[in-house]
Structure 1
Amino acid sequence: MSTAPGPGEFAARLRRREPLVGYWIALDNPAGTERIAGLGYDYIGVDGQHGVLHQPGWQSAMLAVDARGRSAGVIRVPSPDPVAIGVALDTGARAVIVPMVESAEQTRTVVRACRHHPVGTRSLGGPVRAEVRLGSVPAEIDEQVACIVMIETAAALDDLEAICATEGLDAVYVGPADLSAALGARFFGDPAAADALEAALVRIKDAARRNGIACGIHVLDGENAAKRLAEGFTFVTVSSDITHLQQAAAAHLVAARGLGTV
């Protein structure tokens, strides 16, 4: 019998700042998501902001993740809108990742949207999918749900310490592409902004550690995931299904035609 932690332990593990590895889903493909969710990643992040998987597909994605019973389902919502946060959590997501958060005031609003009365503003869903997975006692539901905000703008960096100190916040998460742009990069990976990005990552990690919360980052591959964990990030999300689909198809085309490189 496996002794690996189950998806229901995700929020507690994140709060303990255990090393966690996730995978990113951008495609509205429940069958593919179900396959990936059986591989053993600690969580599966579903992109409701930039992917082609919009709100009607969130619940199908969570059903696909839960079908394997191994990974926790996480949804990145489109914005800090409390309504979107509530909808995502009602699907049974174990956490939300909230983009474009720029201040401690915004962070407090987001945290409250993840929690029920008396500490928050989340509406008690009743007989929706979250009840099947998380129960119907508000305080117990709140314990099982993690609130994660993204640090990806200059304003967020300016208010970083106050954001990390927000009561009830479980983690911050770096969007390196947007953060690079905020630091002057002309494109993601621009070497002119590389040093500024690395310095910002150290600041973010240190602020999270001082405030006792987890700190995550999105990476391009497993090698970079291991590197960032070794540097002190507590959770990392690897690439995406749409990226890997293209990479695999291109590699097979090269092999079939003997082209050497694409």
Structure 2
Amino acid sequence: MSHADLKRRLTRGDPVTGYWTSLADPAVPELVSQSGFDFVVVDTEHTPSGLETVAVNLRSIDDESAGVVRVPWNDPVRIKRVLDLDPAGVMVPMVSTAAEAVDFVAATRYPPEGIRGIAAGRSNDYGRNVAERVERDDADLVRIAQIETEAGVENVTDIAAVEGVDALFVGPADLSAAVGSFGDYGDAFEDAVTRVLDAGQRERTPVGTLATSADEVERWVEWGFDFVVCGVDILDLVHGADAALAAHETARGGE
């Protein structure tokens, strides 16, 4: 899937689904993208992956899928270096104010609209199309702001309204912890999510989240999320390994 296709589908409200990868081996994004996901997230916030790993993992993603990189923080230097690797999208954690969202967008744009530095890299065919890419200013890039703090929920309408923010993303673990109920998707969490979904609808900004089980996929879709990341490589490996061991123990009669 081209960069433009992913952005176009999100903007139109078409069904879009992704998969989350944390492991450094490029075989992981390669094999999950072949399953037919529209995009694959390459996480660098909670992983040891460096830029070299991100570059290889983006190249490994099947042409029918798009690569989205989550950076560790809303840092223009980190964002700039990831963008030079030519992902279809970039996700920033812990966006809590409209000003932070403005800074995020500015970090993804070339001057005079932004502050992104200009250099030859994969994003401009290694220098062959620098002028064209600067002129386009990464118009096809998907910019995703994560809402996972109480302040982010308070300011979510203003964040969603920032020009250049293409989507919001609820981080269930961090947001539930922020409202004092980690892992408990009860009233406080539901109230926070409802505010995010309402803001996204008002500002015509799609809202996504992460599901770690089939039940969560169903729950988030029914709740009204516009897109869902359906699975995490580490958790799927853990669950698969635990299930295989349990099956063997059952077959041996609990020996």
TM-score by structure 1 length? 0.88
The reply on whether 1:100 has 2:94 as its aligned counterpart is: yes
Q: Is the 8 A contact 2:105 2:143 kept in 1?
A: yes
Secondary structure at the aligned position of 1:144 is classed as coil
Residue 196 of structure 1 corresponds to 188
Indicate yes or no: 2:236 matched with 1:248: no
Task: Give the drift of 1:54.
Answer: 3.2
C-alpha RMSD over aligned residues: 2.1
Determine the structure 1 residue equivalent to 2:221.
229
CA distance in 1, matches of 2:84, 2:203: 29
Alignment match, 2:197: 205
Do the aligned residues in 2 keep the contact of 1:11 with 1:143 (CA within 8 Å)? no
Partner residue in 1 for 2:177 = 181
Provide the residue aligned with 1:120 in structure 2.
114
Aligned-residue offset at 1:78: 0.2
Please tell me the residue identity of whatever aligns with 2:67: G
**C-alpha contact 1:19 1:229 (8 A) present in aligned 2:** no
Structure 1 residues 164, 11: closer, same or farther in 2, change over 3 A?
A: same
Query: Which ranges in structure 2 are unaligned for 5 or more consecutive residues?
Result: none
* Unaligned stretches of 5+ residues in structure 1: none
Write the mapping of 1:15-54 to structure 2, written as runs, cut at 5 A: 15-54=11-50
Q: Aligned-pair distance for 1:221?
A: 2.2
Task: Report the Cα distance in structure 1 between the residues aligned to 2:155 and 2:140, rounded to whole angstroms.
Answer: 28
**Partner residue of 1:75?**
69
- Give 2:142's aligned residue: 146
State whether structure 2 residue 127 is matched by structure 1 residue 131. Answer: no
Contact persistence 1:76–1:98 (CA under 8 A): yes
Shift of 1:118: 2.7
Change (3 A) 1:18 1:135: farther
Instruction: Write the letter of the residue equivalent to 2:140.
Output: Q
Task: Tell me the SS of whatever aligns to 2:186.
Answer: helix
**CA offset at residue 123 of structure 1?**
1.9
Cα deviation digits, residues 144-164 of structure 1 (max 9, x gap) = 101111000011112111111
Instruction: Give, in whole Å, the separation in 2 of the partners of 1:118 and 1:240.
Output: 38
Give the percent of matched residue pairs that are identical in Structure 1 and Structure 2. Answer: 35
How far the C-alpha of 1:257 sits from its partner, in A, is: 2.4
Tell me the amino acid that sits aligned with residue 239 of structure 2.
Q
Task: Give me the TM-score of the superposition, normalised by structure 2.
Answer: 0.91
Q: Is the 8 A contact 1:214 1:235 kept in 2?
A: yes
Residue-by-residue CA offset, 1:194-234 (whole Å, 9 max, x unaligned): 11111111110110111111111111124422432232211
